[in-house]
A and B are shown apart, each in its own frame.
Chain A
Amino acid sequence: MTTKTNTISFVLDGRLVELSFAGSSTLTPTTTVLNFLRSLPHHRGVKEGCAEGDCGACTVALGELGERGEMKYRAFDSCLLFLPMLHGKQLITVENLRAPSGELHPVQRAMVDEHGSQCGFCTPGIMMTLFALYKSGGKPSRMDIADALAGNLCRCTGYRPILDAAEKVCHGDGQDHFVGTEANIAAMLKSISRASISVSTRGQRYDQPSTLEECLALLNEAPGAIVINGASDIALRVTKKFEPLSHIIDCSRIKELEVVRDDGKVLSIGAGIRLTDVMKIVRQDFPALHGMLEVFGAQQIRNTATLGGNIGTASPIGDTLPVVIAYGGSIVLQSSKGKRTVSADSFVTGYRKTERRPEELITAIELPRPSPKSHIHAYKISKRRDLDISTLSGTFRLDLDDAGTISDVLLVYGGMADRTRRATSAEKFLKGQLWSRAVVEEAQRHIDNDFAPISDVRGSAEFRRIAARNLLLKFWFETIDRG
Chain B
Amino acid sequence: MGSKHKIIGKPERRVDAWGKVTGRAKFAEDYSVAHQLWGKVLRSKHPHAKILRIDTTKAETLPGVEAIVTARDIPGSKVFGIVVKNQQILCEDRVRYLGDGIALVAARSREICEEAVALIEIDYEPLPVISDPEEALKPGALPIHGDKNEFVHHKVCKGDVEKGFAEADFIIECTFKTQFVEHSYIEPEAVLAEPAEQGGVVITGSVQNLFSSRRSVAEALNLPLSRVQIIQATLGGSFGGKDEVMTSMCCRAAILATKTGKPVKMVNSREESMLESYKRHPYVLYYKWGAKHDGSITAMEVRCIADGGAYASMSPFVTWRSVVQATGPYCCENVKTDIYAAYTNNNYTGAMRGFGSPQVNFAIESMMDELAAKVGMNPLEIRMKNGFENGAVTATGQKLTHTVSLKEVLTKAAQEIGFEAKWQKYRSLKSGEKKRGVGLACSYRGVSLGAEGTDAAETIVSVQTDGSVIVSSGVTDMGQGAQTQMSQIAAEVLGITMDRIQFLNTNTSRVADSGPTVASRGTIMGGTAAKNAAEKVKTTLLEVGAAMIGCDVGSLDLAENYLINVKTNERLASFSELCAECFRKGKPMMGFGWHHSPPTSWDEEHGQGDAYFTFVYGANATEVEVDTETGKVNVIDFVSVHDVGKAINRGMVIGQMCGGVAMGLGYGLLEEFEIEEGVPKQLNFDEYLIATAMDVPRIRTIIVENEDPAGPFGAKSVGEPTNELAAPAIVNAIFNATGRRLYEIPANLERVLLGHKLTRTGKRGSEVKANHG
Binding site for B on A (CB under 8 A): 44-52, 54-55, 57, 93-95, 97-98, 104, 108, 111-124, 127, 142, 145-147, 149-163, 240-242, 298, 379, 381, 383-389, 391, 454-460, 462-463, 466-467, 470-471, 473-474, 477
Contacts and interface: CB of A to CB of B under 8 A. Distances in A.
Contacts of B661: 158
22 contacts: A115-B13, A115-B14, A117-B16, A119-B478, A120-B16, A121-B187, A123-B21, A153-B692, A155-B184, A155-B659, A160-B699, A161-B651, A381-B749, A383-B689, A384-B670, A384-B689, A384-B695, A459-B758, A460-B759, A466-B753, A467-B629, A474-B433
Interface string B669-706: 01000100000011011110111111110110000000
A120 B749 contact: no
Contact of B659 (A118, A121, A127, A147): A118
B239 A155 contact: yes
Interface string B225-236: 000000000111
A104 B22 contact: yes
A149 B764 CA distance: 29
B674 to A, nearest CB: 8
A455 B23 contact: no
Contact of A158 (B632, B699, B749): B699
Given A118-B480, A161-B655, A467 B749 contact: yes
Interface in B641-666: 651-652, 654-655, 657-663
Q: Is the interface of A mostly helix, strand, loop or mixed?
A: loop
Contacts of A46: 23
Contacts of A127: 21, 23
Contacts of B691: 384
Nearest to B27: A121
A352 to B, nearest CB: 16
Nearest to B748: A383
Interface of B: 11, 13-14, 16-25, 27, 29-30, 114, 183-188, 234-239, 269-270, 433, 478-481, 629-632, 651-652, 654-655, 657-663, 670, 674, 681-682, 684-687, 689-696, 698-699, 748-750, 753-754, 758-761, 763-766, 769
B694 A147 contact: yes
B270 A112 contact: no
Given A153-B690, A240-B769, A55 B186 contact: yes
Contact of A146 (B23, B670, B693): B693
Given A115-B17, A120-B25, A383-B748, 20 more contacts: A48-B188, A115-B652, A115-B654, A117-B20, A118-B655, A119-B186, A119-B234, A119-B235, A119-B236, A119-B480, A123-B25, A149-B692, A149-B693, A155-B663, A158-B699, A163-B693, A384-B689, A384-B692, A457-B681, A466-B753
Contacts of B29: 47-48
Contact of A386 (B18, B20, B114, B692): B692
A18 B654 CA distance: 47
Contacts of B687: 457
A467 B753 contact: yes
A462 B692 contact: no
B21 A50 contact: no
A457 B765 contact: yes
B17 A117 contact: yes
A155 B185 contact: yes
A160 B17 CA distance: 16
Given A49-B186, A94-B22, A456-B763, A163 B749 contact: no
Nearest to B657: A158
B242 to A, nearest CB: 11
Contacts of A118: 237, 479-481, 655, 659
A93 B630 contact: no
B479 A120 contact: yes
Contacts of B24: 45
B21 A117 contact: yes
Contact of B696 (A113, A159, A459, A466): A159
B750 A157 contact: no
A385 B695 contact: yes
Contacts of A391: 749
Given A150-B692, A385-B692, A467-B630, A477 B758 contact: no
A120 B19 contact: yes
A388 B22 contact: no
A111 B21 contact: yes
Contacts of A473: 629
Contact of A477 (B433, B481, B658): B433
A119 B685 contact: no
A45 B79 CA distance: 36
Contacts of A471: 629-630
A51 B29 CA distance: 14
B758 A455 contact: yes
B299 to A, nearest CB: 38
Contacts of A111: 17, 21
Given A153-B186, A463-B750, A124 B758 contact: no
A242 B20 CA distance: 32
Nearest to B184: A155
Contacts of A120: 16, 19-20, 25, 234, 236, 479
Contacts of A466: 753-754
Contacts of A156: 237, 479-480, 655, 659
B698 A160 contact: yes
B148 to A, nearest CB: 34
A379 B629 CA distance: 12
Contact of B22 (A95, A119, A151, A162): A95
A389 B235 CA distance: 30
B761 A456 contact: yes
A54 B685 contact: yes
A52 B22 contact: no
A116 B21 CA distance: 9
Nearest to A380: B630
Nearest to A457: B765
Contact of B758 (A98, A151, A384, A463): A463
Nearest to B660: A158
A156 B183 CA distance: 11
B692 A298 contact: yes
B237 A119 contact: yes
Nearest to A473: B629
A319 to B, nearest CB: 15
Given A50-B270, A124-B23, A57 B629 contact: no
B350 to A, nearest CB: 17
Nearest to B722: A158
A241 B768 CA distance: 10
A162 to B, nearest CB: 7
Which of the listed residues B24, B186, B674, B690 has the most CB atoms from chain A within 10 Å of its own CB? Answer: B186
Given A119-B187, A457-B765, A460-B760, A45 B23 contact: yes
B764 to A, nearest CB: 7
Given A470-B630, A473-B629, A97 B652 contact: no
Contacts of A385: 692, 694-695
Contact of A157 (B184, B655, B766): B655
B749 A55 contact: no
Contacts of B269: 51
Contacts of A113: 13
Contacts of B696: 158-160
A386 B694 contact: yes
A94 B30 CA distance: 15
Given A120-B16, A384-B695, A460-B760, A115 B11 contact: yes
B749 A104 contact: no
Nearest to B764: A457
Contacts of B14: 112, 115, 117
B13 to A, nearest CB: 6
Contacts of B674: 457
Contacts of B237: 118-119, 121, 155-156
A-B pairs, 6 with minimum CB distance: A45-B23, A119-B479, A121-B236, A457-B765, A158-B658, A120-B20
Given A156-B655, A159-B662, A383 B670 contact: yes
